[in-house]
Homo-oligomer: A and B are copies of this chain.
Amino acid sequence: MKRIILLFLFIPVLIYGQDTIRISDLGLSPGSRVNAVPFVNKAMDKCKGKTNVVLVFEKGRYDFWPQYSNEKDYFISNTNYIFPRYCVFVVEKTKNLTIDCDGSDFIFHGRLQPFTVDSSENISIKNVSIDWEIPFGAEAEIVEVNPGYFDLKIDTKQFPYVIENNKLFFVGEGWKNLWGGVKWNDPMQFDRETLEVTAGTDDDLLGENWEKKYNARELCEGVVRITYHNTGLLKKGNYFVLRHGYRDHAGIFITDSKNVHLENINMYSNLGLSYLAQYSENLTYLNVNCLPNPHRKIISGHDDGLHFSNCRGQITVEGCTMKGLMDDSFNVHGTYVIVSEKVNDKTLVCKFPHFQSIGMIWARKGESVAFIDGQTMKNYGTGLVESVQLKTPETFEVTFKDVVPKEVKTSDALENISWEPDVTIRNCYFGNHRARGVLISSGGKIIIDSNTFESSGSAIVFPGDIKSYFENGPIKDATISNNLFKVSCLTSMYMTCEAIISISLEVPAFDAKNPPIHKNIMIFNNTFELYDYPALYALSVDGISFSNNKMKYSNMHKPWHPRKFNLTFEACRNIEVKGNVIEKDVLGKNIKLLQTKPSELKLAKGQGFLIE
């Protein structure tokens, strides 16, 4: 009886507390194939001014074209700058909004950003698959390999192409991309059976300057002959991914927002980073996936999968699958900015060092900033921000409350330490993709637990990069536990792939005499399926434990990695290795200490590790 009374008391709250807007009430039916964008605009207008709304799509297919999309000027981290960005769902200055798509398929056409969450709080997007009619990347089957050429079978409906002046161009709705027209878009080969990047192949599949040297000719509809010298790496029957085009829109873009919840989302295609959050706080992703649409074999997102730039609070990623991505599966980092001018003892001019991360409001009044030696990544002090003024998209002026350290000099870096998220990655899968699995650059509490990795390069990388991509910051507290690193891990070489777990530094002048940059990394209860030597490489860590892990042997692939040690510690302190179980056939069974005093290693007995 009490329960019933309670129920009756709650019902009005449920009914009156929340507005439900049904897209069907605005005239849009699933499967109609009309451009859904004007209906979405109408729905978002209706949401404005309300603070507790659920926007509901009836299950089905919806199509989206650029017409009537919102033209926005955004600087999007790790993404090329273009204006305008064509945005479909724009959740802007909104609180407590849920977009529930009921398992619908959202099919996009042309250059678009499906979802944008900007300056909003308590936003939930769920139950949707995102795909493009014509994806921004093509896959083919290798049907012939010969000394002077190879033939590709391409589904011309999904991946329409034209050949002009002996070059292959992919064409879509409002775009045309030369295969080989964009740097870094090297082709990839995937194994016919495992759908993994073919072991022993990587970005260098066709060697240097392939894009200038190849010729394309159509043999018949859907079969293209690529005239090119045989690099010996291509195999008939395998899949060949032809990457093309710029990254200039994200899949789901979250900026300057708080408490964003994504759930039950499949991203089958896009033209940039799949899930990109920047300057946002408290992000929860449950069953949020990148994977190839069942009617494709390999490709999903154009670049990274889950990407967090300059975020803070708690990032939780659980039960997510990252497959078929053409770049790293997961990346969380801040952005180092470089001092280009000392205006006075409180004011610096800084520049964004990477062209794909510019134009951001990098810090706000009251935030803490660390001063970092640009050569060694040494932190030599902190300051409180008084104001930040963007001067150009590439440069800004920052004034501190107090005088900045005397050491500050041009080419030193700043790190915004007010934006260092805690990260939990649990029960996820990372595989069938190019490049690295999980990249972490954050001083927050990092938990990588109970995941399965089949990443082509390293499974986990702590890159510590102040040289190439300038993605801060160093690790201060990380746990890597209960993960399964399957035999496909580290079958290809990419940047900083020193071992399955690769803790590294990208600095102009590393000096082992300085105190370590990374701290407190616990690696335990993981299973490594090893066909090669390197399981762990750790550079410049103070406090690292490798314990209770299983190391199994597989002869699935040929060992190839230049590093011939299971565990390598370089310039590390306070190392603990204990309780690990190593199968007898595991190669090496050894530990290498580089620039590390043997006394820094506490090695438990009876594991069979040899110190070299």
| A171/B67 in contact, CB under 8 A | no
- Complex CA distance for A68 and B35, rounded to whole angstroms: 14
The smallest beta-carbon distance between A220 and chain B, in angstroms, is 15
* A611 close to chain B: CB less than 8 A: no
A389 interface residue (CB < 8 Å to B): no
| Shortest distance between the CB of A501 and any CB in chain B (Å) | 44
Q: Give A65 to B65 CA distance when docked, in angstroms.
A: 10
Q: Does A510 contact B (CB under 8 A)?
A: no
* A28-52 near B? 1/0 per residue, CB < 8 Å: 0001111100000000000000000
B33 touching A172 by the CB < 8 A rule?
yes
With contact pairs A65-B66, A67-B65, A67-B67 given, residues A174 and B31 touching in the complex (Cβ less than 8 Å):
no
Which residue of B is nearest A133, CB measured?
Answer: B173
CB within 8 A of A32: which of B33, B65, B67, B176?
B176
The verdict on A355 contacting chain B, using a C-beta distance below 8 Å, is: no
Instruction: Return the contact of A65 from the options B63, B162, B171, B174 (Cβ within 8 A).
Output: B174
Known contacts A65-B67, A67-B68; 9 additional CB pairs below 8 A are: A31-B162, A31-B176, A33-B176, A34-B176, A35-B174, A63-B174, A65-B66, A65-B174, A157-B157
| A171:B66 contact, CB within 8 angstroms | no
Q: Which residue of B lies closest to A110 (CB)?
A: B65
- A-B pairs, top 6 by smallest CB distance, nearest first, are A33-B176, A67-B67, A66-B67, A33-B171, A35-B174, A157-B157
List the B side residues contacting A73 at CB < 8 Å. Answer: none
Which residues of chain B come closer than 8 Å to A65, judged between CB atoms? 65-67, 110, 173-174
Whether a CB of chain B sits under 8 angstroms from the CB of A175 is: yes
- Cβ of A297 under 8 Å from chain B: no
Q: How far is the CA of A313 from the CA of B174 in the complex (A)?
A: 42
Copies of this subunit: 2
Which of B31, B34, B175 interacts with A164 by CB under 8 Å? Answer: B31
Within 8 A of B (CB), among A149-201: 156-157, 162, 164, 171-176
Is A467 in contact with chain B by the CB < 8 A criterion?
Answer: no
Closest CB in chain B relative to A296 CB, distance in Å: 15
Nearest neighbor of A170 in chain B, beta-carbon distance: B33
Complex interface: chain B residues within 8 A of A157 (CB): 156-157
A109-138, CB < 8 A from B:
109-110
Q: Could you say which of B32, B164, B173 contacts A109, with CB atoms under 8 Å apart?
A: B173
Q: In the complex, what residues of B have CB within 8 A of residue A174's CB? A: 33-35, 63, 65
Query: A65 to B110, alpha carbons, bound, how many Å?
Result: 10
How far does the Cβ of A421 sit from chain B's closest Cβ, in whole Å? 38
Bound-state Cα–Cα, A172 to B173, Å: 12
Which residues of A384-441 have CB atoms within 8 Å of chain B's CB atoms? none
Distance between A259 CB and nearest chain B CB, rounded to angstroms: 34
A519 to chain B, nearest CB (A): 50
With both chains docked as a complex, state the minimum distance between the C-beta of A162 and any C-beta of chain B, in angstroms: 8
What is the chain B residue whose CB lies nearest that of A177?
B33
Residue ID in chain B nearest A68 by CB atoms: B67
Report the bound CA distance from A35 to B156 in whole Å: 21
Q: Would you give the shortest CB distance from A577 to chain B, in whole angstroms?
A: 57
A575 to B176, CA, bound (A): 65
**B residues in contact with A31, CB < 8 Å:** 162, 164, 176
Q: 9 interchain pairs (CB within 8 A)?
A: A31-B162, A32-B176, A33-B172, A34-B174, A65-B110, A66-B67, A67-B67, A109-B173, A157-B157
Determine whether the beta carbon of A175 is less than 8 Å from that of B33: yes
| Cα–Cα distance between A67 and B71 once the two chains are bound (Å) | 12
Contacts of A162 in B (CB 8 A): 31
| Complex alpha-carbon distance, A79 and B31, angstroms | 26
Q: Closest CB of chain B to A180's CB: distance in Å?
A: 17
Residue in chain B with minimal CB distance to A66: B67
Chain B residue numbers with a CB within 8 Å of A110 are 65
Nearest chain B CB to A470 CB, angstrom units: 33
Chain A, 548-580, CB within 8 A of any chain B CB:
none
Cα-based distance from A262 to B46 in the complex (angstroms): 47
Report how far A175 CA is from B35 CA in the complex, Å.
8
**Which chain B residues lie closer than 8 Å to A173 at the CB level?**
65, 109, 173
Please give, as numbers and ranges, the residues of chain B lying within 8 Å of A164 by CB-CB distance.
31
Chain B residues within an 8 Å CB radius of A66:
35, 65, 67
User: When chains A and B are docked, how far (Å) is the Cα of A174 from the Cα of B28?
Assistant: 12
Tell me, rounded to whole Å, the shortest Cβ–Cβ distance linking A494 to chain B: 32
A175 and B34 within 8 A (CB):
yes
CB distance from A125 to the nearest CB of B (A): 24
Residue of B nearest to A32 (CB): B176
With the chains together, A156 CA to B156 CA distance in Å? 11
Cα A34 to Cα B169 in complex, Å, equals: 13
Q: How far is the CB of A307 from chain B (nearest CB, A)?
A: 28
Residue of B nearest to A156 (CB): B157
